[in-house]
Amino acid sequence: MPKGRYGVVVLDGADWHKAKKIRVFNNLSVLVLPPASPELNPVEQIWQQLRDNWLANRCYDGYEAILDACCHAWNWFVDLPGKIHQLCSRSWAIL
């Protein structure tokens, strides 16, 4: 994190997001969400859209083809103003 900036890392409670020892930073907080609660993690809605509309159930010729597909899927959001806001808004949740 650049000096003078502050960040928050959101961890979704998955087993691979757990460690016995972590490094502490003064300008970075960790927000640990309960496991199996995708409704609290807005980025899960984005990944679901990418999988449902662009990335799931396809065969790729190699690593570059996978990267190209991911970039194309991500750029799909650029053409849909407000889509990320719609997917990630939680009027019922205040974190």
AA letter at 75:
N
CA count, 13 A, side-chain hemisphere, 26? 4
Compute the mean pLDDT over every residue in the chain, rounded to the nearest whole number: 84
Nearest one of 2, 3, 28, 1 to 11, comparing CA atoms = 28
pLDDT in tens, 59-73: 999 999 999 999 999
Distance CA 34, CA 31 (A): 10
Joined together, the tokens standing for residue 13 give 């409670």
Q: Are 22 and 42 in contact (CB under 8 A)?
A: no
Which H or E run contains 85?
Answer: helix 83-88
Q: Quote the strand ranges of the chain, DSSP E.
A: 7-11, 28-32
Q: Are 13 and 34 in contact (CB under 8 A)?
A: yes
- 40 band by pLDDT with thresholds 50, 70 and 90: confident
